[in-house]
Homo-oligomer: A and B are copies of this chain.
Amino acid sequence: MTTRLSGVIPPLVTPLTEDGEVDAGSFKRLIDRLIDAGVSGLFVCGSTSEVALLSDRLRDDVVRIAVDAAQGRVPVLAGVIDTGTLRMIDHARRAEKLGAKGIVATPPFYIAPNPAEIIEHYRALAKAVSVPVIAYNIPSATHVGIPMESLDVLAHEGTIGALKDSSGDIMYFRTAIETIGDAGIGILTGSEVFADLALELGATGIVPGIGNVDPYGYVAIQKAAETGDWETARREQERLIKLFEIVTVADLSRIGFTAGALGSFKMALYQLGVIDNPTTCTPMLPLNDEESEIIRQHLVDAGLKPVR
């Protein structure tokens, strides 16, 4: 990680056993499949991992198993999502000790920090660990965006090693490229649906949640982008946009939005035979048979091969 973060770095789901423990066997199969597909890193304990619901013990299990399974083939980055700086420092130190090569941190939330306090926060994190700190912008979850003025300072003074932007706002991303593109750090998009455009605008890498299900597609986009073949990138992206519709198949009067979205990734991986259980973390409720069947159909439509 002395170089810029780049390539496809999927935010991994956390395979669970039926009784809610990390399912090491499934997790290793998932990791092998991703590495075989050509990803350049693994981001565990991100939003896609249900990190907000995992206890500290489960988070540690996730990092430990991932580092063990990766066997150094690609670096493992670990999210340290929590409401406050001191809390994230605790997570970050444990993750570093367990072998994470970078830690990914949102701003503090629940509270309402201002741009100066967000700078303060990342400086404290960077001082607490020796691996790079990646700033994670995901206001849909935190309700606290990383202001461009904070990003500017943090990138140029060397506090952060990368930005992961999951705002869904292409102009935030474009402005970030413009503002910190010269800082020599990774600029990653978390978008599943405009990875092609983000790469065209100068993204160094992509972090797509549905890359768990179809890593091949995003690796293809990334490779097409490298050669400037935007038409191929766009065609592949459009296929993946359709596949991404699985995040909205759940009936929201029955289960929550996050349960439906993250549950659909797990259900798809279960149907593809990659993981043994589609179980999500309590208190999220499961998808039902009808919804699962729609997901299966989406897999078929996208050219993937469900085995159950």
Write the residues of chain A forming the contact surface with B, with a CB cutoff of 8 angstroms: 47, 50, 52-56, 58, 81-87, 89-90, 108-114, 116-118, 120-121, 124, 141-143, 168-171, 174-175, 178, 193-194, 197, 200-201, 230, 234, 238, 241, 252-259, 281-285
Contact = CB atoms under 8 A, between A and B. Distances in A.
B285 A53 contact: no
Given A52-B108, A54-B84, A174-B241, A116 B257 contact: no
Contacts of A252: 114
Contacts of A53: 83-87, 108, 111
Contacts of A285: 114, 116-117, 120
A54 B284 CA distance: 26
A56 B283 contact: no
Contact of A256 (B113, B124, B234, B281): B113
Contacts of A241: 174-175, 178
A81 B114 CA distance: 21
Contact of A87 (B55, B90, B197, B258): B55
9 contacts: A52-B110, A53-B111, A55-B86, A81-B110, A84-B281, A108-B283, A113-B256, A170-B197, A197-B200
Contacts of A255: 114, 116-117
A301 to B, nearest CB: 14
Please indicate which of the listed interface residues A81, A87, A90 has the most CB atoms of chain B within 10 Å of its own CB.
Answer: A87
A169 B112 CA distance: 20
A142 to B, nearest CB: 7
Contacts of A84: 50, 52-55, 281
Given A83-B82, A87-B55, A108-B283, A258 B174 contact: no
B284 A117 contact: yes
Contacts of A201: 197, 234
Contacts of A168: 169, 171
Contacts of A114: 252-257, 259, 285
A141 B285 CA distance: 24
Contacts of A194: 170-171, 174
Contacts of A81: 83, 110
